[in-house]
Homo-oligomer: A and B are copies of this chain.
Amino acid sequence: MSLNEHKQRLKRLREAMAKARTSAFWVSHAPNVFYLSGFTGDSGGLLVEPSRATLLTDSRFTTQAHEELAGARIGVKIVKGPLAAAATAELLGRRFRGSVAFESARVTVADSARLRKGASGRIRWRGAEGWVEALRRVKDAEEIAEMRQAARLASEVLTEVIALLKPGLRECDVTAEIEFRMRRRGATGPSFETIVASGPRGALPHARATTKPLGRNELVVIDMGAILRHYCSDLTRTVFLGRAPARIRRWYRAVKEAHEAACQVLRPDARAEEPDLAAREVLRGYGLEAAFIHSTGHGLGLEVHEEPRLGRGQKSPLGPSSVVTIEPGVYLEGLGGIRVEDDVLVLPSGPQLLTDAPREFLEL
C-alpha cells in the first residue's frame, strides 16, 4: 500500500468519525487495522483520533510494527496484557475525554468490559458497526490490481489442476496439489479451506476434502482461492469424470445461465439482492429453485467474506469498484452438486470478470 492511499483511508475514516461526533475510534479487527495502517501482525489495534493515530501491539511485533509503519505517521506503542485494556489505559493516561467508538460487531462482550473498566465516566465508549468495512467496499486502483492478480493466480492453478483430474485420485490429493501450486506462485495461503467434493459429497456446499478417491461418472466440485499479498480470490468449477447423462448437462446449463444472469445485473447502483433474484429466476425456470440453498455471492477483498451478502432482502447498492463473487449452485442429495463461481469487479461501465478459468462444462 502506498503512503498516499493510507493517508486517504485515514482521512475518509476521520470524516465518518466527525459526522458521528466521536473523538476517537478503537479499531481492533485485524483486516481493518491492516487496511488503515499496513500493520500485518495478528495482535494489534489502532487508536484513531482526529490528529493522531497510535498502533498498540505486544513485544513480539516491535520490530515488525516499526518496519511496516515506517513513514506512516502512526505512533507505535508496545503494551502488555489485553489490547482492549491497554487502549483504555492509553486514553486515560493522556487525560482524554469524550466519546470513543469501538467495533461492536468485532469486539467480544469480555473485551468490551475491558474497554469500559477503569474508564470511570471520562470516556464514553459507543458501539460502531461497519465504518472501516464501508470504506473497504470501494476498492482503489492498487487494491484492484492486487485482486486481479490473486484471481489470475487462482484461475491458472485451477485450470492446471483440472487437467490432472482422473478417477482414483483422492480428494485430499487434489487439495494438496492446488495449495502447493498456489504457494509456489507466491500465495501466502488458501483464502479458505479448499473444497474438493466428489460424487454425492458435492451435495454438501461446504464439504471438507476427504481421502475419498474420485470416482468414474461423478461430478467433482472444486472451490478454492488464494491469498496473494493480503487479498483473497474465490473460484469454483464443477467437472464430470466421464460422459455426463443429459440431466446433469441440463443442470450445469441451468447453473451457468443463472451465473450469467446474475453477472448481467451487476452495476454500482444495483441493490445487493438483484443478482440473487436474477439467478434464482433462471433456476426457477428449470424447476431447480429449491436445490439452490445459499445466497448468490458476497463481497471479497482482504477477507474472503465481506459485505455485502448477495441475498434476498439486501437493499444496499453494491457501490462503485466493489468486488463480489457470483456463485449459484444446485445441490441434489445423493447425487452431488454443481456450482460455478467467479470474482467480479463492478464498474460503471459494467461487470468485469477477474477470474478467467474456462466456464464450459468439462467432461473429462
Measuring CB to CB, which residues of chain A are less than 8 angstroms from any residue of chain B? 40-42, 59-64, 102, 104-113, 127, 129, 172-173, 175-177, 179-180, 183-184, 186, 188-190, 193, 203-209, 211, 293-294, 333
Chain B residues near A60: list those with CB within 8 A. 205-206, 293-294
Residue of B62, B106, B127, B206 near A61 (CB, 8 A) is B206
A110: contacting residue among B104, B173, B207, CB under 8 A: B104
| A176 contact set on B, CB distance < 8 A | 179-180, 183-184
8 A–B pairs (Cβ distance < 8 Å), ordered by A: A59-B293, A59-B294, A63-B204, A102-B109, A105-B109, A105-B110, A106-B108, A179-B179
Minimum Cβ distance to chain B for residue A34 (Å):
12
Q: Would B183 and A175 count as touching, CB distance under 8 A?
A: yes
Q: A105-B110, A180-B180 are in contact. List 4 more A-B contacts (CB 8 A).
A: A61-B204, A172-B186, A177-B180, A179-B179
Contacting residue for A64 out of B63, B64, B188, B204, CB 8 A: B204
Contact (Cβ within 8 A) B211 A42: no
CB proximity of A27 to chain B, nearest CB, Å: 15
Instruction: List chain B residues, Cβ under 8 A from A208.
Output: 40, 188
A209 to B110, CA, bound (A): 33
Query: Is there an interface contact between A193 and B183, defined as CB atoms closer than 8 Å?
Result: no
Give min CB distance, A218 to chain B, whole Å.
Answer: 17
- In contact, A107 and B108 (Cβ under 8 angstroms): yes
User: Closest Cβ of chain B: how far from A314's Cβ, in Å?
Assistant: 12
How far, in whole Å, are A111 and B175 apart by their CA atoms in the complex?
Answer: 34
**Chain B residues, Cβ within 8 Å of A207:** 64
Out of B108, B173, B175, name the residue touching A105 (CB < 8 Å): B108
- CA A102 – CA B110 in complex, angstroms? 11
- CA distance in complex: A42, B208 (Å): 11
Q: What is the interface of chain A mostly: helix, strand, loop, or mixed?
A: mixed
CB <8 Å contact, A333 and B183? no
A357 CA to B172 CA in the complex, in Å? 24
Say how far A151's CB is from chain B's closest CB, in angstroms: 19
Q: Which residues does chain B contribute within 8 Å of A333, judged by CB atoms? A: 63
**For A294, what are the chain B residues with a Cβ–Cβ distance below 8 Å?**
59-60
Query: CA of A108 to CA of B303 in the docked complex: distance in angstroms?
Result: 18
- Distance, CA A176 to CA B112, complexed state (A): 39
Nearest B-chain residue to A187, judged by Cβ: B172
A189 touches B190 (CB 8 A): yes
Contacting pair A183 B189 (CB below 8 A): no
Please indicate the chain B residues that have their CB under 8 angstroms from the CB of A113 in the complex: 104
Nearest chain-B residue to A207 (Cβ)?
B64
Q: Considering the chains assembled together, what is the distance between the CA atoms of A186 and B177 in angstroms?
A: 13
Q: Are A107 and B104 neighbours in the complex by a CB distance under 8 Å? A: no
Q: Which one of B63, B177, B206 lies within 8 Å of A41 (CB-CB)?
A: B206
In angstroms, Cα B175 to Cα A129, docked, is 36
Question: Complex: how many Å from CA A173 to CA B127?
Answer: 43
Q: Are A188 and B206 in contact (CB under 8 A)?
A: no
- Complex: chain B residue closest to A227, CB-CB: B193
Q: Give the residues in chain B near A109, CB-CB below 8 Å.
A: 102, 104-105, 107-109, 112, 127
Nearest to A313 among chain B residues (CB) is B81
Give A102 Cβ to nearest chain B Cβ, in Å: 8
Closest to A209 in B: B188
